[in-house]
A = this chain, B = another copy of it.
Amino acid sequence: MKQEKLLRRALEDNGSRVTQPRLVVFRLLQEHGLQSIAELISRSSGTVDRVSVYRVIELFEKLGIVRRVTIGWKYKLELSEIFLDHHHHITCLSCNKVVAVKEDEKLEKVIDRLADGTGFSLSSHQLELQGHCKTCRERSTTLQSS
């Protein structure tokens, strides 16, 4: 189904209206993917007020339309699993590029077993990775050899 239709339905099911600010923020998330609230605010400035961006995101989170992702101790926002498949992120410590990492069945199993040991029932999990991307590794080798 077209993503915007899913959005409309999620809003209507909650008795919430489909407004300009909500559409603007949604489209920015579609277009630019993972981004900070500051980026959302700046990209929508002139059209949508700062405060409204905060409020739209708050609603979207409550309705499961967006999720927060921690990247280097700041959070960023991206469309939820209704719109994108379950994944995690790896950040390059040299160039700060962030790449999605697909969730893998084995990972799920291992995490389930980890949780078992605690007596908790498991509802959700987030994994964040850091490392160095291929480009940066190659560049640093080149520089060293010169």
Contacts and interface: CB of A to CB of B under 8 A. Distances in A.
Nearest to A106: B110
Contacts of A131: 115, 120-124
A121 B129 contact: no
27 contacts: A68-B73, A70-B70, A70-B126, A70-B128, A90-B115, A90-B120, A92-B120, A101-B115, A101-B117, A101-B118, A102-B114, A104-B110, A107-B111, A115-B131, A119-B133, A121-B131, A121-B132, A122-B129, A123-B130, A123-B131, A123-B132, A124-B130, A125-B127, A125-B128, A125-B130, A126-B127, A127-B127
Interface of A: 68, 70, 73, 75, 88, 90, 92-93, 99, 101-102, 104, 106-107, 110-111, 113-115, 117-134, 137
